[in-house]
Amino acid sequence: MSKIDIQAMIAPYSVKEIRNLCDASYVVRFNKNTLAFRAGQHLVVGVLGSSEAREYSVYSGRDEEFLEILVREVEDGIVSRKLRRLKEGNTLEVNGPYGFFLTNAQPPENKKLLFIASGTGIAPFHSFVKTYPNADYTIIHGIRTLDEAYERECYKENRYVACTSRENTGDFHGRLTTYLKNMDIDKETMVYLCGNSDMVFESIDILQEKGLSNSHIFTEVYF
């Protein structure tokens, strides 16, 4: 029988690092303790002692020694602004993990995967790729400017497409749905969408027009 690490079970979720990725977005890294999760699941995170918390998909890989969440600072946002001001050693309240998104994508399933994300909706896919770097995936990421292509270097070459809508600096200049319309997609591909509802809805319509079955389309709406 494996030894239970009591210290780890009762340890606080201490902030290890706040990593700024661009003006609006940042990563919070904190202790993992004994928390186990599947890529695609989310946590409910708040500052310890505060009555407010929010759901954030895990950004880090399953086997990494820490947990990370990707946060976009929202104007007038209560939690996103508080989290950014945290310092190393501050304590978080963390509940979870929750959710089933990407459950059907995990090995031993070995299907072709298409991940479609807008903005911070990339987080569950980042976690997945960190966990399963050899999976057969393609990511289409809808962002406004290239600085929102959060840590794209972790994806394999030709597997990540940044669609920038406000400047011609990405792999494709325009909305991700425009890119999707012109894309050839194998009907057996499993498609996972994460981000704002307008993008998700429009993408579903495009995928259905391309003949993909509803049973191959999975969604997680952020707002």
Partner 1 sequence: MFYHLITLGCQMNVSDSERMHSILQRMGYVNTDNEEEANLLGILACSVRQKAIDKVYSRIHKWNKWKNKRNLITFVSGCVLPADKEKFLKQFDLVFPMSEANQLPDMIREYGVTSGISLKTGSSRIPSNDNIFSLWNVNPTYHSSFEAFVPIQNGCDKFCTFCAVPYTRGREVSRPSSDILEEISKLVRGGYKSITLLGQNVNSYGKDKTGEEISFAQLLEQIGELGIVSGREFLVYYTSPHPRDMKTEVVDVMAKYKVLAKMVHLPLQSGDDKVLVKMNRGYNIEKYREIISYIQLKMPEATLFTDIIVGFTGETEEQFQNTVKAIDEFKFNMAYIAKYSARPGAASYRWDDDVKIADKKDRFERLTQQLSQISEAYNNSLIGKSFRVLVLGKDRKPGHLYGLTEGKIIVRFASANESLIGTFTDVKIVSASDFSVEGKTEMVLDELRVS
**What does the alpha-carbon distance between residue 178 and residue 182 come to, in Å, rounded to a whole number?**
7
Going by C-alpha positions, the residue among 159, 118, 120 that lies closest to residue 137 is 159
Is residue 64 a contact point for partner 1 (CB under 8 A)? no
CB closer to partner 1, 103 vs 169: 103
CB closer to partner 1, 162 vs 200: 200
Q: Which of 98, 109, 167, 186 binds partner 1 (CB under 8 A)?
A: 98
Q: Are 56 and 43 in contact (CB under 8 A)?
A: yes
Is residue 6 a contact point for partner 1 (CB under 8 A)? no
Helix (H, G, I), strand (E, B) or coil at 183: coil
**What does the alpha-carbon distance between residue 219 and residue 93 come to, in Å, rounded to a whole number?**
27
The alpha helices in 22-153, defined as continuous H runs, are: 78-84, 123-131
CB closer to partner 1, 161 vs 194: 194
Q: Are 39 and 124 in contact (CB under 8 A)?
A: yes
Is residue 100 a contact point for partner 1 (CB under 8 A)? yes
Tokens representing residue 15 in the block? 């902030």
| Sole window of 38-46, 126-134, 139-147, 158-166 interacting with partner 1 (rule: CB under 8 A) | 38-46
Q: Which of 15, 24, 46, 194 binds partner 1 (CB under 8 A)?
A: 46
Q: Which of 21, 22, 35, 53 binds partner 1 (CB under 8 A)?
A: 53
Q: Which of 44, 86, 146, 185 binds partner 1 (CB under 8 A)?
A: 44
Strands across the sheet with 91-98, in order?
Answer: 54-57, 42-47, 91-98, 13-20, 25-31, 66-72
Helix (H, G, I), strand (E, B) or coil at 85: coil
Least distance (Å) from partner 1 to the CB of residue 157?
A: 32
CB closer to partner 1, 86 vs 204: 204
Q: Which parts of this chain interact with partner 1 (CB under 8 A)?
A: 42, 44, 46, 51, 53, 55, 93, 95-96, 98-100, 197, 200-201, 204, 214-215, 219-221, 223
